[in-house]
C-alpha cells in the first residue's frame, strides 16, 4: 500500500481497502439495493455482496434498509438473519458466524474516535459474532468486541466489552444479567 493510498483521518492512517472507483460503485449499489426497500430479494443482495468481495454463506437473509459500509470487510456464515435498518459499519473486518440474528435497527460499529486527543484520531477494531448470537433491536456492538457463542445482547443495549458465551447482557454499558439456557 502506497502512502498516497492512505487516508488521514485526523492524523490516523487508514485505508478503506478498495480503490476510489470500487468505493464509488459500492456507494450507489448500497444506496439503490441495500438502503432502499425496493429490492426485498435476498439473492440479489447476496449476489452484490459477493461481487464486491464479501464472503457469504447459505441462507443469508438481509431485510430492507440495511446500510453496509464496505462489503469487502464482511464475512457472513450460514443461516444469518439481518433485520431492517441495521447499520454494518465495516471500516475493518466484521465476522458474523452461523445461526445469528441481528435485529432491526442494530448497529455494528468498527470505528470510533480517541476523545483524549484534540484531533479525535480514528480508532478501529474487528467485530466477531460467534455462532448462535442474537443482537437485539436497536442494540450497539462497538469496535473490538467479540460476542461469544450463543450470547444475547438485549434490545437497546450497548456492548463495549466482549460478551461471554451462553450469557445474556443488558444495559448501557451492557452488563451480564443471566445465563442463556437453550433447550
Q: What is the pLDDT of residues 127-151, one digit of tens each?
A: 999 999 999 999 999 999 999 999 9
pTM of the model: 0.92
**Residue 34: CA atoms inside 13 Å, Cβ hemisphere, count?**
25
pLDDT at 10: 53
Of the chain, the percentage scoring pLDDT greater than 70 comes to 93
CA atoms within 13 A on the CB side of 74: 25
Amino acid at each position: 500500500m502506497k502512502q498516497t493510498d492512505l487516508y488521514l483521518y485526523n492524523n490516523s492512517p487508514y485505508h478503506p481497502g478498495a480503490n476510489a472507483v470500487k468505493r464509488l460503485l459500492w456507494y450507489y449499489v448500497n444506496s439503490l439495493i441495500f438502503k432502499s426497500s425496493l429490492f426485498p430479494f435476498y439473492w440479489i443482495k447476496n449476489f452484490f455482496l459477493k461481487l464486491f468481495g464479501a464472503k457469504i454463506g447459505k441462507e443469508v437473509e438481509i431485510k430492507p434498509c440495511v446500510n453496509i459500509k464496505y462489503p469487502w470487510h464482511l464475512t457472513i456464515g450460514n443461516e444469518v438473519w439481518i433485520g431492517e435498518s441495521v447499520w454494518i459499519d465495516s471500516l475493518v473486518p466484521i465476522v458474523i458466524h452461523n445461526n445469528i440474528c441481528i435485529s432491526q435497527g442494530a448497529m455494528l460499529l468498527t470505528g470510533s474516535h480517541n476523545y483524549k486527543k484534540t484531533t479525535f484520531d480514528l480508532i478501529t477494531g474487528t467485530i466477531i459474532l460467534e455462532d448462535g448470537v442474537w443482537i437485539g433491536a436497536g442494540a450497539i456492538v462497538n469496535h473490538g468486541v467479540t460476542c461469544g457463542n450463543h450470547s444475547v445482547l438485549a434490545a437497546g443495549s450497548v456492548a463495549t466489552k466482549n460478551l461471554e458465551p451462553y450469557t445474556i447482557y443488558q444495559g448501557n454499558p451492557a452488563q451480564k444479567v443471566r445465563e442463556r439456557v437453550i433447550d
